[in-house]
Chain A
Amino acid sequence: MSYNLNFINLNGFEIAKKIKENLINPSDIYNFFYERIKKLDNKINSFIEIYKEPEEDPNGDSPLKGLPIAIKDNICIKGKKITCASKILSNHIAVYDATVIEKLKRAGLKIIGTTNMDEFAFGSSTENSCYFTTKNPWNIKKVSGGSSGGSAAAVALRLVPFALGSDTGGSIRQPASFCGVVGFKPTYGLVSRYGLIAFASSLDQIGPITTNFVDCAYLLNIIAGKDENDSTSCCLEKFDFTRYLNEDIKGIKIGIPEEYFKEGLNKEVKESLEETIEIFRKKGAIILNIKLPHTEYAVATYYILSSSEASSNLARYDGIKYGFRKEEDSLSKLYTSTRRDGFGLEAKRRIFLGTFSLSSGYYDAYYLRALKVRTLIRRDFENAFEEVDAILTPTSPTPAFDIGEKINDPLSMYLSDIYTIPANLAGLPAVSFPCGFTKDNLPIGAQLIAKEFCDGILIHLGFSYQFNTDYHKKIPEL
Chain B
Amino acid sequence: MVDKKIVEYIANLSKIEITEEEANFLSIQISKILDYIDKLKELNVQDIKPLRHFYLKNNVFRDDVVKNSNLKKEILENSPKFLDNLFKIPNVL
Contacts from A to B (Cβ < 8 Å) = 91-93, 95-96, 188-189, 202, 228, 231-232, 234, 294, 296-297, 299-301, 303-304, 311, 315, 318-325, 327-332, 334-337, 339-340, 343, 348-349, 351-353, 355-356, 359, 366, 368-376, 378, 410-411, 414, 427, 452
CA gap between A368 and B41 in the complex, in Å: 12
Instruction: Select which of A91, A340, A452 is within 8 A of B17 by beta carbon.
Output: A340
Known interface pairs A95-B75, A370-B40; A202-B52 also in contact (CB < 8 Å):
yes
The number of inter-chain residue pairs (CB within 8 angstroms) is 153
Residues of chain B within 8 A (CB-CB) of A373 are 40, 43, 45, 48
Residues of chain B within 8 A (CB-CB) of A327 are 80, 90
Known interface pairs A188-B54, A300-B39, A331-B92; A414-B71 also in contact (CB < 8 Å):
no
Known interface pairs A95-B71, A95-B74, A375-B49; A320-B89 also in contact (CB < 8 Å):
yes
CA gap between A322 and B45 in the complex, in Å: 42
Docked-complex contact A321 and B79, CB < 8 angstroms? yes
- B68 interfacial contact with A, CB 8 Å: no
Docked-complex contact B37 and A304, CB < 8 angstroms? yes
Q: List 9 A-B contacts (CB under 8 A).
A: A231-B60, A294-B43, A300-B37, A321-B79, A352-B26, A356-B6, A366-B37, A371-B52, A373-B40
Residues of chain A within 8 A (CB-CB) of B81 are 325
**Nearest CB on A from B91, distance (A):** 6
List 20 additional contacts besides A340-B18, A349-B30; criterion CB under 8 Å: A95-B74, A189-B54, A189-B55, A228-B62, A297-B39, A297-B43, A301-B40, A322-B75, A322-B78, A323-B78, A325-B81, A329-B91, A336-B15, A340-B17, A352-B16, A356-B30, A359-B10, A366-B37, A373-B40, A373-B48
Instruction: Select which of A299, A322, A329 is within 8 A of B90 by beta carbon.
Output: A329
Docked-complex contact A328 and B90, CB < 8 angstroms? yes
Instruction: Select which of A232, A334, A349, A374 is within 8 A of B89 by beta carbon.
Output: A334
Nearest 3 A-B pairs (CB), nearest first?
A371-B50, A325-B80, A372-B45
- Nearest residue (CB) in B for A93 is B78
Docked-complex contact B90 and A375, CB < 8 angstroms? no
- Nearest residue (CB) in B for A415 is B36
- Nearest residue (CB) in A for B81 is A325
Q: Which of the listed residues A297, A335, A373 has the most CB atoms from chain B within 10 Å of its own CB?
A: A373
**Nearest CB on B from A342, distance (A):** 9
Docked-complex contact A339 and B14, CB < 8 angstroms? yes
Residues of chain A within 8 A (CB-CB) of B55 are 189, 234, 427, 452
Residues of chain A within 8 A (CB-CB) of B90 are 327-331, 334
Residues of chain B within 8 A (CB-CB) of A231 are 56, 60
CA gap between A328 and B92 in the complex, in Å: 11
Docked-complex contact A321 and B75, CB < 8 angstroms? yes
> Mask for B18-35, Cβ within 8 A of A = 1, else 0?
100000001001101110
**Nearest CB on A from B51, distance (A):** 4
Docked-complex contact B91 and A356, CB < 8 angstroms? no
**Nearest CB on B from A228, distance (A):** 6
CA gap between A299 and B87 in the complex, in Å: 41
Docked-complex contact B92 and A356, CB < 8 angstroms? no
Docked-complex contact A300 and B91, CB < 8 angstroms? no
CA gap between A24 and B13 in the complex, in Å: 58
Residues of chain A within 8 A (CB-CB) of B48 are 372-373, 375-376
- Nearest residue (CB) in A for B9 is A359
CA gap between A376 and B18 in the complex, in Å: 37
Residues of chain A within 8 A (CB-CB) of B52 are 202, 371
**Nearest CB on B from A398, distance (A):** 19
Docked-complex contact B50 and A372, CB < 8 angstroms? yes
**Nearest CB on B from A186, distance (A):** 13
Residues of chain A within 8 A (CB-CB) of B11 are 352
Residues of chain A within 8 A (CB-CB) of B29 are 349, 410
Docked-complex contact B33 and A410, CB < 8 angstroms? yes
Instruction: Select which of B51, B77, B92 is within 8 A of A374 by beta carbon.
Output: B51
CA gap between A343 and B80 in the complex, in Å: 17
CA gap between A376 and B60 in the complex, in Å: 26
CA gap between A234 and B54 in the complex, in Å: 10
CA gap between A202 and B71 in the complex, in Å: 28
Docked-complex contact A353 and B30, CB < 8 angstroms? yes
- Nearest residue (CB) in A for B6 is A356
Q: Which of the listed residues B14, B43, B52, B78 has the most CB atoms from chain A within 10 Å of its own CB?
A: B14
**Nearest CB on B from A355, distance (A):** 5
Residues of chain A within 8 A (CB-CB) of B14 are 311, 339, 351-352, 355
CA gap between A410 and B26 in the complex, in Å: 11
**Nearest CB on A from B73, distance (A):** 9
CA gap between A359 and B32 in the complex, in Å: 19
Residues of chain B within 8 A (CB-CB) of A411 are 32-33, 36
**Nearest CB on B from A333, distance (A):** 8
CA gap between A336 and B80 in the complex, in Å: 16
CA gap between A375 and B11 in the complex, in Å: 31
